Amino acid sequence: MFLGLTLVGCEEPPNPAENPDYKSRSGEKIYKERCTTCHGVDGKLGDSGAKDLSVSKMDSGAIAKIIKNGKNGMPRQGKYIYNDEEMSNTVQYVKSLRK
């Protein structure tokens, strides 16, 4: 007996920011959705080797690069951030977690 398997293309979901009514999310909202599992609510959790964000001294560009591309065990998050405003919001929120 042959069991057929149909593969469906692995396409990225549509970018909601392409909708003219889209409102950019806050950095806090994005952080809570994507980052708290490993970094914790306050940035100090350190689960799975995540860095303590409360002691980070990185500048905005370096933070954005890591968010976008990932680093070491951290997966890239850029595909979940839909425009420059959301990236800026997220970077600023991460910086707000510093002591």
Distance separating the N- and C-terminal Cα atoms of the chain = 64
Structural domain that includes position 73: 25-96
Closest C-alpha among 67, 89, 66, 99 to residue 80: 67
Structural domain count, the chain: 1
What CATH number has the domain bearing residue 65? 1.10.760.10
User: Structure pTM?
Assistant: 0.84
| Residue 42 resides in a domain | yes
| Predicted confidence (pLDDT) per residue in 19-56, tens digit | 999 999 999 999 999 999 999 999 999 999 999 999 99
CA angle 69, 55, 32 (to 5 degrees): 55
| Predicted confidence (pLDDT) per residue in 55-64, tens digit | 999 999 999 9
| Residue 57 resides in a domain | yes
